[in-house]
Chains A and B, each alone.
Chain A
Amino acid sequence: MLEKSFEVMTNFNIFVFLIPFLPLVASIITLIFGKKYFRDKSHFLPVLALFLSFLLSIKVLIDVIGGKIYNFDVYTWIFASHLKVGLGFLIDPLSALMVAMVASLSFLIHVYSIGYMSGDPGYYRFFSYISLFTFFMFMLCMSNNLAQLYLGWEGVGLCSYLLIGFWYEKKSAADAGKKAFIVNRVGDFGFALGIFMVFYYLGTLYYHEIFPKLPEISHSYLNILGLKVYVPFLASFLLFCGAVGKSAQFPLHVWLPDAMEGPTPVSALIHAATMVTAGVFMVCRLHPLFELSNAMMCIVAFVGAFTCFMAATIAPTQFDIKRVIAFSTLSQLGYMFMACGVGAFIAGMFHLFTHAYFKALLFLGAGSVIHALHHAPDPNDIRIMGGLKKYMPVTFWTFLIASLSISGIPGFAGFFSKDEILSQAYFSQYSWGKIIWFIGWVVAAMTAFYTFRVVFRAFYGEFKGKDVIHGYPHESPKVMTIPLIFLAIGAVIAGWIGVPEVLGGNNLIEKFLEPVLGHPKVIHEIPHSTEYLLMGLSVLAGLSGIFLAWLVYIKVPALETVFSRNLKLLYTFLYRKWCFDELYHLIIIRPVLWTARCIVSKISDNFIIEGIVNGSARLVNIVGTGLRYLHTGIVNYYGSFVLLGVIIYIILYLYLK
């Protein structure tokens, strides 16, 4: 379907190549020379590289809009027998959009970090890591095969690890980085097996060779211990494990809240806008495989829905501003998977795109607040904030725009994409569409509630942190507020590329992505009246959430304590994040360490195996002591032993012959 309307370019293209390559070079040079030579100028190269990459990504996006597709290998990376993969790029509408999004955000966040990170002893390290991250993220999005996708996948994971643990002298930061890496490895375990399965059944890892071959496996089954398993189901399930890890979905979501230990620009870029959406991107990229199995689509939808709901119940109980936003990220990623699970891949990608802007904005706004309060012992605590509207107007207005956007207020970006997901879920051909719609609708109200809880607590009322910071906060420097303003523009207009037809738009993004992602799986006749009704309902949900937040946090502040006091058990359960950390500690970490220390090390290695080894050595020793009596020093005796040996030798010889 691609070749018909697009011109496929298979020659090496320097512009495409430079998009990831420039940040890589900047990162390496900064890492090696930053500490000694660049010091507080370390941002220069990465920012420049990202700016150029951004321009190039726009150029490439225009090329793709103009009907070109790039698909070429830079060189053959691994070649063994019939396993052959290159490092190469596939730039089609899906990856062009993703690359442009990543480049623009990464550039803005680089600029913001100049202000946010200034004075940090690891300044050069920060800029090196974050542009290395951007390199790997580009490699992930632009890859033309699964092996390179995996390279980018693990690479962004590494940078995430390095940046979460950026302030590694803090134990909690080092722990969080390690946790993120290992939890992701659990998902990647499945992801790798999924790749092997694709290779086993289709004999290739290139996307453009995989898709035409998919019909070959659409009727194959695999026998696992007597159980007949549908091959596309198992393959996509295994691949989805990777997505669940990277995009922090239940049950591997536990790393993301802890990842907030990293510097705030990192949370904005990696743990909100780009890396965590890689799972959604991967599912969209491989959507023909996922669509082969209805069971798999159902799993995708409900994993998303469950995470979406769970995170939305936890967010209102948290007091760390970044954690609230982190849970909202979990929840929004859940929306994207819900979209994928009802066959609305375009809506999922659309939400990924708008979410990137308003969520990065929320984080950077929070970062601006944290920056202003950084003298406080815990600057992230919303209980010491309040009244910031007066002191930090730019931060306030931009944060408000992001909040309206995520709450789905008409006109803002989040409205269009969320509405697209909800309506396509409602009209989905899949039977679980209506349930998904309902969950999404409920969570929309909750989202507005907890987002505006932060808005009201942080920006309205009286400033409560006078004593901890000994004074009043100030607005952040221009180098931070200007990116906020740009992102705020994005958080509004990013949605305008997907204005649905019922509102008089012409849904550009759907037309753009349709050649790659296919037409949404919706019923054919969609009554406009129902569409308006659904839209009205979601607006209502958003407004009622905001109203409720206003009621609880501005009008009648006593309500909050009433809730937390009377429903103590439920409140604690939510506050402890449904106790997943405790559960995993109890059923996984402790048993594994216990097995390692007791069973493997003490009992098996030191007692059984070493016991046998040392025991036989002792036996030899005893026998040897006995044999010492034969060491008489009398040559005749020795002679007879030699003779005995020869006789045994001859007997053996004759026997074996």
Chain B
Amino acid sequence: MDLLNNLLSWILWFPLIGIVIIFLINRTNEKAIKWVALITILIDFILSLILLLNFNFSDPGFQFVEKKKWLDFLNSYYFLGVDGISILFIPLTTLTTLLCILISWNSIKKKVKEFHLALLFTNISIVGTLCALDLLLFYIFWEAMLIPMYLIIGIWGGPRRIYATLKFFLYTFFGSVFMLIAIIYLYIKFGTFDYTLLLNKGYSFGIEKLLFLAFALAFAIKIPMWPVHTWLPDAHTEAPTAGSVILAGILIKLGAYGFLRFVLPMFPHASAYFTPLILTLSVIAIIYGGLACLAQEDLKRLIAYSSVSHMGFVTLGIFSLNPIAMKGAILQMINHGIVTGALFMCVGVVYDRTHSRAINYYGGLATTMPLYAALFMIFTLASIGLPGTNGFIGEFLILAGTFLSNKIATTFAALGVIIGAGYMLWLYQRVFFQKVSPNVKNLPPLKTNELVALIPMVILVFLIGLYPNLFLDFMKTSVANLLMNFK
């Protein structure tokens, strides 16, 4: 079989091989299970790099397209493809899963087999969501994603995990139902689930607005935008490290991806109509999320709220409907995945040692764990957008681009940058500086698996920060193509 022609399918389904092997391994042989999962995802990651290398930069349309008859009676196809908007997220997904397996190497003690199965399933469903071009297929992957996540939080999570999972599940499911109705409506009206055929359909404006809202609600909850964000702090806080990393790293990006892939191209008039609303909500999210961070006493909760603020920048950039801001937004999605994912990993590192997430439990970690403190500092700086790190490029492009279309929104959004420095440095001071807290006096230094999981993130922080064009080049033509609708 020609690998390149079916590359997406390979990337998508390859973890199944690992799943089958893990099924066959005895559950007491935890080491073998971990290694199989690790190697499977490593190969999957390499496959996704091959995907990157074979990408054609000048083609604005879909590449690596696979279209096969699937559910004939519904006229639904197994239809995959990637373009400049989605392609970068595929290696990001496989990389994140890979690092999640590494970082959880020693910290998952119960049901190791199920844990790795759940991670592999998550990987499949997320990659599927990213490359499905058939609405039904997309919806199936979209919902399928919830199940392994639900299990990861519900089984390996913290003390309030049941409340958190239920909230997470109901919240997202609530949003998805409206999207499902909209998809069914589109199917009934046009007889197809094919995304490419559903573009530029002349809806009446009223219907288009309703469809926009139905899709937007599902995506807004996933992102999460203000005011439907309250599931995120609970889910993040209770999730095990790997769960938080996947949630922050990729899952919530899919909301923003949904806007870019479906909402803007399918409903351009409604998108333009609702732009002021979304920009307002984004600015509120940026400032509100930042202020909420100042009030948090829990490490993970603080970082979760910072996600709300950062994703506000992403939606701001998307709905500025301008190429600079939109590229910034896509890059910022990747940045946020890297930086916030890494921050959650870092929190996991100390949580494994102390089993406390309370900020005031810590203090003086820079003295006891200097290497860890240095890595945490790098991610902190990336999170507050220091030039030279990836966070700067994203924020700079978003704000510079948004300034071209909306000066007021940019001004308020830029305030979020001040608040961001405030809460992150305050957090850093309380955890790492000042007197060494007796609780952290004899913490062991970073273990190899933790270091190996964090180093790629550090490299990416500086690679994107210093040479962003490597990544921006992928988006160029696709973003221009997408914005043609709004000329």
- Taking beta carbons and an 8 Å cutoff, which residues of A are in contact with B? 35, 75-83, 147, 150-151, 153-155, 158, 161, 165, 168-171, 174-175, 178, 181-182, 185-186, 188-189, 192-193, 195-197, 199-200, 592-593, 595-597, 600-602, 604-605, 609-610, 613, 617, 653, 656-657
Contacts and interface: CB of A to CB of B under 8 A. Distances in A.
Main secondary structure of the interface of A (DSSP, over half): helix
Given A158-B386, A199-B403, A653-B188, A79 B418 contact: no
Interface in B214-233: 227, 230
20 contacts: A78-B396, A78-B469, A79-B469, A79-B472, A80-B328, A81-B322, A83-B397, A153-B387, A168-B434, A169-B435, A171-B434, A174-B433, A175-B429, A182-B418, A189-B415, A189-B418, A197-B403, A592-B291, A596-B291, A613-B171
A156 to B, nearest CB: 11
B418 A186 contact: yes
A178 B418 contact: no
A154 B292 contact: no
- Counting from the closest, the 7 A-B pairs by CB-CB distance are A151-B387, A601-B295, A596-B294, A196-B403, A168-B433, A174-B433, A81-B323
B400 interface: yes
Main secondary structure of the interface of B (DSSP, over half): helix
B71 interface: no
A553 B292 CA distance: 53
A600 B288 contact: yes
Interface in B406-444: 410-411, 414-415, 417-418, 421-422, 425-426, 429, 432-436
Interface string B227-246: 10010000000000000000
Select the residue from B328, B364, B433 with max chain A CB neighbours within 10 A: B433
B468 A169 contact: no
A12 to B, nearest CB: 17
B429 A193 contact: no
B399 interface: yes
Nearest to B174: A616
Select the residue from A81, A154, A195 with max chain B CB neighbours within 10 A: A81
Given A154-B387, A199-B403, A600 B291 contact: yes
Interface residues of B, number: 58
Nearest to B435: A169
B396 A605 contact: no
Nearest to B475: A80
Contacts of A77: 466-469
A80 B393 CA distance: 11
B478 to A, nearest CB: 13
Contacts of A199: 400, 403
A604 B421 CA distance: 23
B404 A200 contact: yes
Given A596-B295, A601-B296, A609-B227, 14 more contacts: A78-B469, A80-B328, A80-B397, A154-B386, A169-B364, A169-B434, A171-B433, A186-B418, A196-B410, A197-B403, A600-B292, A600-B295, A601-B295, A657-B188
A169 B323 contact: no
B152 interface: no
Contacts of A79: 469, 472
Contacts of B328: 80
Contacts of B436: 169
A254 to B, nearest CB: 15
B396 A185 contact: no
A169 B422 contact: no
B185 interface: yes
A147 B295 contact: no
B147 interface: no
Interface string B180-198: 0000010011000000000
B399 A192 contact: yes
Contacts of A657: 188-189
Contacts of A80: 323-324, 327-328, 397, 401, 472
